[in-house]
Structure 1
Amino acid sequence: MNSHSRGKWLGLLCLVPFAVFFIAFQIAPLAWVAINSLQSDAGWGIDNFIKAFNSRFYRQAMQYSLEISFWSSLIGIIIAILGSYSLRKVPSRLRDFVSAFANMTSNFSGVPLAFAFIILLGFNGALTLILKQAGIIDDFNLYSKTGLIILYTYFQIPLGVLLLYPAFDALREDWRESAALLGASGWDFWRHIGIPVLTPALLGTFVILLANALGAYATVYALTTGNFNVLPIRIAAMVAGDITLDPNMASALAMILVGMMTLVTVVHQWLLKRSYHVSR
């Protein structure tokens, strides 16, 4: 056996632990959920999915999940783009501090984050009272859809900065200088060079932020004690049996959540291919 074959078999051998872990904790649970989603009191079939899409309550959960995830991801990535680009222009010491802070705050979620927002933006929160006294707002409900979008956006921004900051390394300064020498304005540079170069990173980051928001559970549960109607809350309630125990319906809702992410990923791949062909 030559060295190339030994290296190949060694690589495959090193892949075995990952494959076992991936199958045991990714493929097997997903297969179990998919199988259980097709089981109901009437037997095998798609009755759970029909019930989910015919129910206004479950449709509302799907709608709220998508709306909160989409808007928090969109606002988060816009702020992350501005922040990541600005970091390229500041001194290295400040850049390192902001990067470290973003790394820390990207893991600040769940119960501590919900508690912090209640103190700041709850009905009697410090910031809410200050804004009311200043006459900027009349009222604010942190426990509404708008409040959750703000809350979700908070933990989307640091993650977006961490993902997008390295992408700006692809923009070389001599490209801007060459474009300026040829008479291109700043807008022309971003339209024809900057945005096309950054498009794969922007789309990929948006999909990750969307997945991050769609699957968020601990923060919204801690904030609303499970009273806000989003898919992760509905799935957990039916598994835990807080109101009714229906793991098969929970599996169907989980598969709908997987379907949403699959659709987003497919659209993401299509947009990437389209942007690649357009750039060529």
Structure 2
Amino acid sequence: MTSLILSRTTTWDAPRTGPSTRRPLALLWLLPLLLLLGLFCLAPLGWVLWHAIWSPDGFTLSRFASILDSPFYRQAFGKSLWLSGCSSLAGLLIAGVGAAALTRVPGRWRDAVIAFTNMSSNMAGVPLAFAFIVILGTNGAITLMARQWWGIELFDLYSMNGLLLLYIYFQLPLALLLLYPAFDNLQPQWQEAAALLGASPWQILRHITLPVLAPALLGTFILLFANAMGAYASAYALTLGNINLLTIRIASLVSGDLFPDPELAAALCVLLLLILALICWGNQLLKGRFHYANR
């Protein structure tokens, strides 16, 4: 009996190792990631902010004023916003229908579609632009077939319509991968219960499906919009910089052969960051309202 009490006392008094003792080791393993984050994210961001608002004469906002007063740069913002908004909405709608249909596909075929989507999401930039030129360019395969067989001329791939089609294409895999888990979480019992209570399909969509999917739809739209606003390689490889887009203007100011102006490019980057920050802030406000309304 005494030995049993002593053994229990020893067990109870032994030092315990929990999450608090492992926390310094976890922080130590986190240091390389923080170092990379600082070198490749925070340091370039600080450089951009500093060179956008500082000149040899001191603090200045003249670069922002010159951008806002220039019709050329306002056009670049307008075209980039239009292209990003339209491609994000189109990608969201098409991927939403695809994700809803994918939830009703058998498991083996569903896994194959997701694997193919994951693979196709990595095809972007110059290879994607080259594929579009080969298929839909002036002498592309489908363009020649339509011209010889049906006597019709397709749209100009090297225009805003062609860029919009290109952007929608590379938005679709990302949108489908982001929306599929949200659609998969929709329980069929919710729709069945609502239908038994007399709800119409429109009422089920309005009061059940959309409120549940709203956070995922908004978050996916923000990611698609940011993805399109920051796209450069595909647009440049397709149009060779002939269309006035914001990313193309920034690149031409950084590496242009005639009139490089890195400070003005930094100011354009700051305005781009402000636009994306405002959109993300609005997204968080809407998410909070949806969360409060669904409680």
Name the TM-score, length of structure 1 as normaliser.
0.94
One-letter amino acid of the structure 2 residue matched with residue 153 of structure 1? I
Superposition map of 1:60-209 within 5 A: 60-132=75-147, 138-209=153-224
Question: Partners of 2:95 and 2:210 in 1: how far apart?
Answer: 15
Question: Partners of 1:223 and 1:16 in 2: how far apart?
Answer: 40
One-letter amino acid of the structure 2 residue matched with residue 214 of structure 1? M
Question: Partners of 2:56 and 2:247 in 1: how far apart?
Answer: 23
Does structure 1 residue 16 correspond to structure 2 residue 31?
Answer: yes
Question: Partners of 1:243 and 1:82 in 2: how far apart?
Answer: 47
Does structure 1 residue 3 correspond to structure 2 residue 17?
Answer: yes
Question: Partners of 2:84 and 2:149 in 1: how far apart?
Answer: 31
> SS state of the match for residue 238, structure 2?
helix
Deviations along 1:199-247, one digit per CA (max 9) or x if unpaired, are 1111111111111101001101111112211111111111112331100
**Deviation for aligned residue 1:144:** 1.3
Question: Partners of 1:84 and 1:115 in 2: how far apart?
Answer: 28
Q: Contact between 2:159 and 2:239, CA under 8 Å: does it hold in 1?
A: no
Structure 2, gaps ≥5 residues long = 1-14
Q: Contact between 1:128 and 1:140, CA under 8 Å: does it hold in 2?
A: no
One-letter amino acid of the structure 2 residue matched with residue 22 of structure 1? L
Deviations along 1:147-184, one digit per CA (max 9) or x if unpaired, are 11110000000110011111112211211221122112
1:41–1:124 CA distance, 2 compared to 1 (3 A):
farther
Superposition map of 1:224-235 within 5 A: 224-235=239-250
Q: Percent identity?
A: 50
| Larger deviation, residues 93-102 vs 108-117 | 93-102
Q: Which residue of 2 is the match for residue 254 of structure 1? A: 269
Question: Partners of 1:218 and 1:246 in 2: how far apart?
Answer: 20
Deviations along 1:87-137, one digit per CA (max 9) or x if unpaired, are 111222221221111111111111111111112222232223444567696
**Deviation for aligned residue 1:2:** 5.5
Name the TM-score, length of structure 2 as normaliser.
0.89
Question: Partners of 2:223 and 2:146 in 1: how far apart?
Answer: 33
Q: Contact between 1:40 and 1:47, CA under 8 Å: does it hold in 2?
A: no
**Deviation for aligned residue 1:276:** 1.5
Aligned residue pairs, count: 280
Does structure 1 residue 276 correspond to structure 2 residue 291?
Answer: yes
Question: Partners of 1:198 and 1:76 in 2: how far apart?
Answer: 16
Q: Contact between 2:117 and 2:173, CA under 8 Å: does it hold in 1?
A: yes
Q: Which residue of 2 is the match for residue 49 of structure 1? A: 64
Q: Contact between 1:237 and 1:243, CA under 8 Å: does it hold in 2?
A: no
**Deviation for aligned residue 1:185:** 2.1
Deviations along 1:38-61, one digit per CA (max 9) or x if unpaired, are 134765301111111111111111
**Deviation for aligned residue 1:3:** 2.8
Question: Partners of 1:256 and 1:131 in 2: how far apart?
Answer: 43
**Deviation for aligned residue 1:68:** 0.5
One-letter amino acid of the structure 1 residue matched with residue 159 of structure 2? S
Kindly report the root-mean-square deviation, in angstroms, between the aligned alpha carbons of the 2 structures: 1.9
Structure number with larger C-alpha Rg: 2
- Where does structure 1 differ by over 6 angstroms across 4 or more consecutive aligned residues? none
Question: Partners of 1:232 and 1:54 in 2: how far apart?
Answer: 19
Question: Partners of 1:68 and 1:93 in 2: how far apart?
Answer: 36
**Deviation for aligned residue 1:12:** 2.6
